[in-house]
Structure 1
Amino acid sequence: MTTRRTFLRGAAAGAAAIGAAAAVPGTASAHGFRRVLRESISIQLYTLRGIIGDNPEPVLEALADIGYRKVEMAGLYGRTATEMARMLRRHHLRATSTHTGLDGDLNQVISDARTLGHRYVVVPYVNYPTIAEWTAFADRLENAGKVLRRAGLQAGYHNHAHEFEPIDGKRPMDVIARRTTARNVHFELDLYWAVVAEVDPARFFWQHLPRVRQYHVKDRAADGGFADLGTGTIDFRKIFAKTWVQEYIVENDQPADALVTAEVGYNYLRDLRY
């Protein structure tokens, strides 16, 4: 990863091999079709964790070269918020969202978020064995959301599949929805995990309107694993045609080649018509 060209060279061959599958959804075009705006496309940096290491700059440069203008953070990779903000600015990237816990020092979370220019501060994962613990978490999330809102930020929650599995007859996701408010907590719906949980993303969107403001756009392979966008089984066109969000965030938890995943994902969303 000594230069941007060296860094991208390995991705080019793989992208060409996958390109046909990724391009198919973008071929349909007619008056009245909708599309994902380029400024709404982002990528979760967790997807690229295996190649970021302790030097995020070549990865950020490569993402910018692909066409991204937004990223979602997942840690600072050994940098301070100020250092990371400078790095992002050098490559004309905005970190509009981040994944972080909210049970710690909220003042530090707010300070870092302001430095980095975040709009959304999203809890990426929690799991509890009892509804009482889920209820307590939801109350903490709502309280943290109030603090963040007063600071000009928006708290959110990112799902996996387990939030839709009942505990004593109650689904944790329903507990979160009931005990938090749209004013203080929005939902970042992970489409892969929703499908795994046999939840219809469009139905969930309308049930909780206007709380779903971000999508993690993650495809599912035929064997149930992760897939690059447009190469799996999830009908994103159908979901997007029935809904709308402010950010479409590319993600793959286990990419075979992270930069190929990033490029295929960006091109898929850019070219998709629905």
Structure 2
Amino acid sequence: MTHDGSLSRRSMLRGAAGAALGLGAVVALGGTAAASTTADAASATTALGRLRVPKDAISIQLYTLRSLLEEDTEGTLRELAAIGYRKVELAGTYGRTAAEFRALLDRYGLRATSSHSGIDGDFAATLEDARTLGQQYLSVPYADFETAQEWRDFARRLDAAGEQARRVGIQFGYHNHAHEFQAVQGRQRPMDIITRQARSWNVHLELDLFWVIDAEVDPISYVWKNFGRVKQFHVKDRAEDGTWADLGTGTVDFGRIFRKTWLTGVREYVVEHDDPADPLETARVGYRYLTDLRF
């Protein structure tokens, strides 16, 4: 540990490499790969063969299916389970209490490991609901301010909320859009303010890959710059014209992004489309794409 309590880069690399090897069951083993026991973690991971996203790391943001969930919550969850999903990220519970929604998820073998929630109002109640639902993560989905000072104040609020969440076993994060990568008042980018003002052990990043690319930021470099802090990816494809697209039908090279960030500690890959024409088909395409992808 360094004097400020953060891990040294060497220790972080060792930890991430070990975590990647812990996912070894999800790689396609080569004929001689398993014989090597002396290579370091990064080269051993490469030697094992082409990687794939673990099925139990795949989730879907239910905002993608909001129109269907509003009409038939239970039926939509049943369809997601039939597709193969075992994890979901919540954006509300559609008129049900946390306990009622948890029972519905349990009925279909689904887990709400994450949710999008704000920090205004009774945040203690939000955390209690998250615990009832069995969540591991909770992220603020959106913020926008005009001045750097407002962003600094917000980042300090994020840090305080993150500390409160950590004390009850919830990992608290922030989900980006594109505007956080544009400098405010000609000076700092809001994302830089957040990562500097909010401590990494209190606030992780749920990185929305669509919006990072839309902001003309290299997601791979950004993940490494914030090594170990990006716990979740929002996996959202981008069409040639800059609009949203179903996974695998757009321009984003997810295989390259996943391969280059494999050792950095990403734990969940959350399918999302902001405005799908056919939400269930989008969910099917997304799940199939992530389970079939080799990188």
* Contact 1:214 1:249 (8 Å CA) reproduced: yes
Residue among 149, 174, 194 paired with 1:176: 194
After the TM superposition, which residues 202-241 of structure 1 pair with which residues of structure 2 at under 5 Å, given as runs?
A: 202-241=220-259
Secondary structure at the counterpart of residue 72 of structure 1: strand
- 1:34 counterpart (45, 48, 51): 51
SS at match of 2:120: coil
Q: Identify the match of residue 74 of structure 1 among 88, 91, 109.
A: 91
Q: Within 5 Å, which residues of 2 pair with 1:40-55? A: 40-55=57-72
The corresponding residue for 1:96 is 113
Shift of 1:55: 3.3
Rounded Cα–Cα distance in structure 2 between residues aligned with 1:107 and 1:142 = 15
Letter in 1 for 2:132: T
Matched, 1:247 2:280: no
Deviations 1:124-168 (A, max 9, x none): 001001111100000000000000000111110000000000012
Kindly state the Cα deviation for residue 51 of structure 1 after the two structures are TM-superposed.
1.1
Runs of 4+ displaced beyond 6 Å: none
CA contact (8 A) 1:68 1:266 kept: yes
- Other-structure match for 2:74: 57
Query: Could you tell me how far apart the structure 2 residues matched to 1:267 and 1:189 are?
Result: 21
- What is the CA-CA distance between 1:30 and the residue it aligns to? 8.1
Matched, 1:148 2:169: no
The answer for unaligned runs of 5 or more in structure 2 is 1-27, 31-48
Report the count of equivalent residues.
246
Deviations 1:245-273 (A, max 9, x none): 10000000010100000000000000100
Identity %: 57
Contact 1:222/1:232, CA 8 A, preserved across alignment = yes
Per-residue displacement from partner, 1:72-116 (whole Å, max 9, x unpaired)? 000011111011000000000000000000122121011100110
What's 2:154 paired with? 137
Unpaired stretches in structure 1, ≥5 consecutive residues: 1-28
- Counterpart of 1:92, as a letter, is G
Q: CA deviation at 1:56?
A: 1.1
Alpha-carbon RMSD:
1.0
Give the structure, 1 or 2, with the largest relative contact order (CA under 8 Å, sep 6 or more). Answer: 1
Q: Which residue matches 2:284?
A: 263
Alpha-carbon offset, residue 54 of structure 1: 4.8
Amino acid at match of 1:113: A
**Matching residue of 1:198:** 216
Question: Structure 1: how far apart are the matches of 2:148 and 2:226?
Answer: 20
SS in structure 2 at match of 1:139: helix
Residue 53 of structure 1: SS of its match in structure 2? helix
Which residue in the other structure is 2:126 paired with?
109
TM-score, normalization by structure 1: 0.88
Does the residue aligned with 1:192 lie in a helix, a strand or coil?
helix
SS of the residue corresponding to residue 83 of structure 1 reads helix
1:54/1:77 contact within 8 Å kept: no
